[in-house]
Amino acid sequence: MATVDEYGHIDIVDRKKDMIISEGENISSIEVEGALYEHPAVLEAAVIAVPHEKWGETPHAFVVVRPGHTVSEEELIAFSREKLAHFKAITGVTFVDELPKTASGKIQKVHLHRQYWDSIGKTGRYVN
């Protein structure tokens, strides 16, 4: 998905399948990841949609912490609220040692979806 400004410049927003819909608002996972990368303790981050009873979906982050740093889930949630509109802020964090990647280095979000759903003991939509 992309946007085009008045000068014809194209900005890639996100993949349609990675878009998070919360309270009827579209949230780009790439935008949320970009905000998390501004935190000094975040080495890598990937954001996926997770279900929410009231809002439909909310952003959930998988984070690899930079060596020698520490950060809590609460700290990253508060940090994302400072950087983003409230409805775009992450609502949870899963800390991981590494993110699953393809041979070319692309993060495989389908594996993160499976990991999340498995962690809550349910089955959900796995994005391919």
**pLDDT for 48-106, tens place per residue?**
999 888 988 999 999 999 999 999 999 999 999 999 999 999 999 999 999 999 999 98
CATH tag, 2-97: 3.30.300.30
Chain Cα centroid distance, residue 15: 12
**pLDDT for 88-103, tens place per residue?**
999 999 999 999 999 9
Amino acid identity, position 72? S
In angstroms and rounded to an integer, the radius of gyration of the C-alpha atoms of the chain is: 15
**pLDDT for 11-49, tens place per residue?**
554 555 567 888 888 898 999 999 999 999 999 999 999
* Contact (CB, 8 A) for 97 and 65: no
Backbone angles phi, psi at 28, to 5 degrees: -80, 125
* Contact (CB, 8 A) for 21 and 10: no
Amino acid identity, position 4? V
As a whole number of angstroms, the longest Cα–Cα distance in the chain is 48
Q: Per-residue confidence at 125, pLDDT binned at 50, 70, 90? A: low
Q: Which H/E stretch holds residue 74?
A: helix 73-83
